[in-house]
Amino acid sequence: METKRKILIIEDEHDISRILRDYLTKNQYEAAVASNGQDGLQMMDMLQPDYIILDIMLPDMDGIDVCREIRRRNNIPILILSARGSDTDKVLGLGFGADDYMTKPFSLSELLARINAHFRRYDSLTLASERDRTDLLRLANLEIDKKAYKVSLDGNEVSLSAKEFELLHYLASNKNQVFSKSQLLDAIWGYAAYGDENTVTVYIRRLREKIEADPSHPAVLKTVWGVGYKFNHE
């Protein structure tokens, strides 16, 4: 019997958390609910979920602080829910390690599509690793281990979220090939029709801050103006 993937919902609005839990359970996920940030962090350690849905407005902690603490501990994918829909909030949420972002009110079917897309992408990458005898990409001073989801720069491990890793691995696997934001959104998040291309911009900036010697003048993750991005490798 296939083990169900576990999703932790950290949400203080009872009606929303109940609807989410019931909907995800109906769609073959195992769902648990925490009504505040501290309980959410404890349940995360106890349950070891595969995915987290995190409300940004919690009674005891700011959701951004919860997101930052989750990311400090591990790279579990995090989708932030918020009633605040401004671009500033979105960039802030992604900047602290969230993998995705939706504003309230939201469509349950779209939420499910995003979660399913994440796991399809993760499974595809894992299957590719199993089929490929070479699990490591070595490009100059950068080493990308797709089986362990780890990246090293000059021999030192770089802390990346799951989506940061997948984006970097995808670009590095297709070095010198230019991809548009829409193509990257579809390849990494799997839902170009729903997504905001600004998400790709945020992730590219975060990766540059972590792997580039001078993020303001990137030598590896290059912008091709009017087209998109590429992993530059001579």
Residue 226: which CATH number? 1.10.10.10
Number of domains in the chain: 2
In a domain, 16, yes or no: yes
91 and 152 belong to one structural domain:
no
In a domain, 217, yes or no: yes
State residue 172's pLDDT score.
92
27 and 87 belong to one structural domain:
yes
Among 59, 91, 106, the domain-final residue is 106
155 and 208 belong to one structural domain:
yes
State residue 133's pLDDT score.
45
Hunting for tokens 């799951």 — which residue is that?
Answer: 162
Q: Average pLDDT, stretch 179-193?
A: 82
Is the dihedral angle over the CA atoms 17, 23, 26, 29 positive or is it negative? negative
In a domain, 54, yes or no: yes
Structure-block tokens of residue 197:
């291309």
Query: What pTM was estimated for this model as a whole?
Result: 0.75
Q: How would residue 89 be classed by pLDDT, with cut points 50, 70 and 90?
A: confident
61 and 95 belong to one structural domain:
yes
Q: H/E/C letters for each residue in the chain?
A: CCCCCEEEEECCCHHHHHHHHHHHHHCCCEEEEECCHHHHHHHHHHHCCCEEEEECECCCCEHHHHHHHHHHHCCCCEEEEECCCCHHHHHHHHHCCCCEEEECCCCHHHHHHHHHHHHHHHHHHHHHHHHCCCCEEEECCEEEECCCCEEEECCEEECCCHHHHHHHHHHHHCCCCCECHHHHHHHHHCCCCCCCCHHHHHHHHHHHHHHCCCCCCCCCEEEECCCEEEECCC
Structure-block tokens of residue 46:
């106890």
Higher pLDDT, 194 or 30: 30
Among 71, 106, 141, the domain-final residue is 106
- Whichever domain contains 73, its CATH number is 3.40.50.2300
In a domain, 112, yes or no: no
Q: How would residue 66 be classed by pLDDT, with cut points 50, 70 and 90?
A: very high
In a domain, 172, yes or no: yes
Q: Average pLDDT, stretch 177-186?
A: 91
99 and 144 belong to one structural domain:
no
In a domain, 114, yes or no: no
Cβ(108)–Cβ(19) below 8 Å: yes
pLDDT digits (tens, 9 = 90+) for 113-150: 999 988 887 776 665 555 554 568 888 899 999 878 88
Cα atoms in the Cβ-side hemisphere of radius 13 Å centred on 114: 23
In a domain, 57, yes or no: yes
167 and 98 belong to one structural domain:
no
Could you list the residue range(s) of the whole structural domain that residue 88 is in?
6-106
State residue 93's pLDDT score.
72
Cβ(113)–Cβ(88) below 8 Å: no
Among 106, 139, 168, the domain-final residue is 106
State residue 148's pLDDT score.
82
